[in-house]
C-alpha cells in the first residue's frame, strides 16, 4: 500500500508540471475520430477518481460483499463537458480528488484491505485489488495517451 501511495503522490506532482506548459491546442487535438482528447482523458481520470473514492469509502462500512456499481465512461466525459473546460480546472479537480484518495487509502486498516467486493459477473476482488487496479488504470492512460 505504501508503494501505491508513493506512486499516487508522484503523479500528483508530475501531472501538473508536465501538463501546464502544454498548450490548450495540443491538449484539444483530436487524436482520432471517436477518441478522447487529452483533456478528456484527464477528465475521464477525474471521473474514475470520483467513482473509486466512493467505492474505497463505502466498502469499508457497508454490508459485505460490497457490490460494485459501474458507470458509463463515455456518458460521464460527455456530460461533464471536459472538452470545453479549461485545462487548469480539470487538473485542479484531478489533484484535489487524488489527494482525497491518498488520505482515504492511507487510513485503511490492514484487515479492511481484504474486504470483498463483487465487481460484476460474480467476480470477487479485495479492496486492496481495487486500489491497485485504480492506479494501474491511471498509469495506463497517463503513460500511453497523455505523456506521449
Ligand atoms: Ni479508462
Q: What is the domain partition of the chain in residue ranges? A: 2-22+34-146
Distance 48 CA to ligand 1 centre (A): 8
What are the b/e assignments for 2-41, b being 16+ CB within 10 Å? eebbeebeebbeebbeebeeeeeeebeeeeeeeebbbbbb
Confidence of residue 109 (pLDDT cuts 50, 70, 90): very high
What number of other Cβ atoms are within 10 A of residue 66's Cβ?
Answer: 19
pLDDT digits (tens, 9 = 90+) for 114-142: 999 999 888 999 999 999 999 999 999 99
Distance 137 CA to ligand 1 centre (A): 6
pLDDT digits (tens, 9 = 90+) for 1-38: 999 999 999 999 999 999 888 877 777 777 677 789 98
Contact 6, 98 (CB under 8 A): no
Distance 141 CA to ligand 1 centre (A): 7
**Whole-number Å distance between alpha carbons of 117 and 140:** 23
**Whole-number Å distance between alpha carbons of 138 and 61:** 26
Pick the CATH number of 2-22+34-146 from 3.90.1150.60, 1.20.120.450, 1.10.10.60, 3.40.50.300: 1.20.120.450
Q: pTM (2 decimals)?
A: 0.93
Distance 42 CA to ligand 1 centre (A): 10
Which residue(s) pair with 124 in the sheet?
118
Distance 38 CA to ligand 1 centre (A): 12
Distance 23 CA to ligand 1 centre (A): 23
pLDDT digits (tens, 9 = 90+) for 40-60: 999 999 999 999 999 999 999
Amino acid at each position: 500500500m505504501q508503494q501505491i501511495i508513493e506512486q499516487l503522490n508522484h503523479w500528483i506532482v508530475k501531472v501538473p508540471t508536465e501538463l501546464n506548459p502544454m498548450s490548450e491546442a495540443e491538449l484539444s487535438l483530436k487524436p482520432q475520430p471517436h477518441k478522447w482528447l487529452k483533456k478528456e482523458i484527464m477528465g475521464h481520470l477525474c471521473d474514475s477518481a470520483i467513482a473509486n473514492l466512493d467505492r474505497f469509502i463505502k466498502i469499508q462500512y457497508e454490508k459485505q460483499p460490497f457490490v460494485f456499481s459501474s458507470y458509463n465512461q463515455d456518458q460521464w466525459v460527455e456530460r461533464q463537458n471536459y472538452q470545453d473546460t479549461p485545462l487548469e480546472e480539470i487538473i485542479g479537480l484531478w489533484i484535489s480528488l487524488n489527494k482525497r484518495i491518498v488520505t482515504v487509502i492511507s487510513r485503511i486498516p490492514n484487515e479492511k484491505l481484504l474486504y470483498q467486493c463483487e465487481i460484476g459477473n460474480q467476480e470477487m476482488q479485495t479492496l486492496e485489488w481495487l486500489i491497485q487496479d485504480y492506479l494501474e488504470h491511471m498509469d495506463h492512460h497517463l503513460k500511453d495517451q497523455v505523456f506521449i
